[in-house]
Amino acid sequence: MHIAFTGGGTGGHIYPCLAIAELINYENKFTDSTLKAMYYIGNTGKLEEDLVQRFDYIQFLGIEAPKMPRKNSTWAELIKWLGIFHKAYRRSVKYIKQNKIDVVMGTGGYVAAPVFCACLATNTKFLIHNLDSNFGLVNKIFRRFASKVTLGFPMKLALNKKYKYTGNPVSHSFVRVYDELDPRNLFKKNKPKEKMFMGELERSNFAENLQKKADRLKLIDEHCLRVIISGGSQGSQFINDCVGYLLKHFTELNDRIEVFGKRIKITHITGNNLYKEHVDYYLDGDAKKYKNYKVMPYSHDMADLCKDADVAICRAGAMTCSEMVMVQCIPIFFPLPWAANNHQMRNAVALSNYDCAFVIKQDQENTQKRYLDLFDLIILLAKDTDLLVAMKKKLRRFAKPLASKEILGLLKFMSDSEAAAEETAND
């Protein structure tokens, strides 16, 4: 069985495909898997090519797909678009035939459109995974032709047999954290056993170990509210400014710990391009200016950073939402105002409606009010431990740690059923 992935434009469209590919690669190493080759059809020179080339088990196949035309496009623009689209479509057909691709998984983005057309032309079954709480343009057009449609957010469409709510596939590192935070697993490994005869120091260490595990079971630190802040891989100037404005307020609270009762510890990922500007402007060039504030340009260990946090201040992309749910980190969302179809706001509202997230609208006209809204929410969560625990438990209910396995199972079923159909036709 040969499988191809497609989708691009943002990391959110690419990472779910890579999560499935990661699972397939694991199966190929440790089991007798029928999945023998993986390909990724994406735009040459774009983010998908850069990300895919980091993995030696996926072969990247480049096309040059145009962005989807809009309602106000002129005839000249439409004709030009059609010419570029047709070229991308023909190359996609060539890739599918040459590499004998059995099934395709696509997550949307304009690069997926010519690939889906090529699937229809070559009678290749394809699965669409829709990441957000609403359908993007390409997914909305082609979902009627797909063999299966999986959903990253619950929708009424999931009642239809063609549609299945699986949640969004996330990387193995986030699934690992989910398992580590499972109360049923906390005492399974290295469970301390009390001996009949113990010295005073040994008994003290035993009690301390039990207390640490009990604290993990409660998922919180009684003496510290841990906050992680990230505006995505590129960072967010608005979120960075918001944090910079509030730094002195948080520092004053930490200095009066005996009055406030809980320390606020912040880990801030600014984005590579915004790091120096942020440090120079808000920290006077000294990244270590504040004791309980750690700032960094980027991190490849987001799962572990989020595991050690109670609250996340972030955007509301589909993958960010799924990752926060997986690690039970309460999100305070600042949805990107200009996101296509306002999908980030819809994602954020979908979670906040179940009382497991907060939403603050990015408003350039009332920025200071938004900053103070964030400050009030942090204070609320720091003071109300019961609310913190309750929201974390609600987040866990939305987690879909088996999303990758469910989607891979559907892809295998589609391939097997196609083979069965061909066998029946030959008979």
CA distance 84 to 65: 7
pLDDT at 199 over 50: no
Look at residue 421 and tell me whether its pLDDT is greater than 60.
no
Parallel, antiparallel or unpaired: strands 330-333 and 311-314: parallel
Mean pLDDT calculated for residue range 263-287: 93
pLDDT of 107 strictly over 50: yes
> Residue 144's pLDDT band (boundaries 50, 70, 90)?
very high
Report the pLDDT averaged over residues 276-296.
93
**pLDDT over 50 (residue 425):** no
- HSE-CB at 153 with a 13 A cutoff on CA atoms is 22
Q: Cα(66)–Cα(64) distance, rounded to whole angstroms? A: 7
Per-residue confidence (pLDDT) for residue 111, from 0 to 100: 95
Report pLDDT for 416. 79
Q: What's the mean per-residue pLDDT of the chain?
A: 85
| Rounded Cα–Cα distance for residues 122 and 22 (Å) | 27
| Tokens matching residue 179 | 């398992």
Per residue in 48-103, pLDDT (tens digit) is: 999 999 999 999 999 999 988 877 878 888 899 899 999 999 999 999 999 999 99
Q: 349 Cβ partners below 8 Å, 6+ apart?
A: 133, 359
For the ranges 155-164, 184-193, 251-260, 293-302, which has the lowest average pLDDT? 184-193
Judged by DSSP in three states, 378 sits in: helix
Q: Would you state the pLDDT for residue 220?
A: 64
pLDDT of residue 152 exceeding 90: yes
Three-state SS at 209? helix
- β-partners of residue 295 are 268
Q: Which of 100-104, 207-211, 320-324, 386-390 comes out lowest in average pLDDT?
A: 207-211
- Say what the pLDDT of residue 259 is: 54
Q: Which of 309-313, 390-394, 414-418 has the lowest mean pLDDT?
A: 414-418
Q: At residue 209, what are phi and psi to the nearest 5 degrees? A: -65, -40
Q: What type of residue is 200?
A: E
Could you tell me what percent of the chain has a pLDDT over 70?
A: 85
User: Residue 197's pLDDT is what?
Assistant: 42
| Residue 208: per-residue pLDDT | 54
Q: Is residue 206 over pLDDT 70?
A: no
Alpha carbon distance 151, 131 (integer Å): 6
Rounded CA-CA distance 313/236 in Å is 11
Lowest mean pLDDT among 106-120, 222-236, 325-339: 222-236
Report the pLDDT value the prediction gives residue 339, as an integer from 0 to 100. Answer: 87
DSSP result, 109-176: STTHHHHHHHHHHHT-EEEEEE-SSS--HHHHHHTTT-SEEEESS--GGGGSTTEEE------HHHHH
Does pLDDT of 183 surpass 70? Answer: no
- Asked if 61 contacts 25 with a C-beta cutoff of 8 angstroms, the reply is no
Mean pLDDT for 146-175 is 88
For 370-388, the pLDDT digits (tens) are 999 999 999 999 888 889 8
Kindly report, as residue ranges, where domains of CATH 3.40.50.2000 are found in the chain. Answer: 2-168+402-426, 220-398
Does 228 or 307 have the greater pLDDT score? 228
Q: What superfamily would CATH give domain 2-168+402-426?
A: Glycogen Phosphorylase B; (3.40.50.2000)
DSSP 163: E
Range among 23-27, 123-127, 171-175, 305-309 rated most confident? 123-127
CB of 89 closer than 8 Å to CB of 6: no
Distance from C-alpha of 30 to C-alpha of 414, rounded to nearest angstrom: 23
Radius of gyration of the chain (CA): 24
| pLDDT at residue 83, rounded to an integer | 95
pLDDT band at 185 (very low <50, low <70, confident <90, very high): low
pLDDT number for residue 123:
95
pLDDT score recorded for residue 228 = 96
Q: Out of 3.40.50.300, 3.40.50.2000, 3.90.1200.10, 3.40.50.360, which CATH number does the structure's domain 220-398 have?
A: 3.40.50.2000
Structure confidence by residue, pLDDT tens digits, 110-143: 999 999 999 999 999 999 999 999 998 999 999 9
Give 19-46 pLDDT, tens digit per residue.
999 999 888 877 766 677 899 999 999 9
pLDDT tier, 156 (very low <50, low <70, confident <90, very high otherwise): confident
Give the C-alpha separation, 28 to 26, whole Å. Answer: 5
Q: What is the crossing angle of helices 75-98 and 112-122, to 10°? A: 60
User: CA 32, CA 133: separation in Å to the nearest integer?
Assistant: 36
Task: Retrieve residue 421's tokens.
Answer: 């159909």
Give the separation between CA 204 and CA 6, rounded to whole angstroms.
56
Contacts of residue 421, Cβ cutoff 8 Å, sequence gap at least 6: none
**Main-chain dihedrals φ then ψ at residue 363, nearest 5 degrees:** -130, 110
CA distance 152 to 167: 4
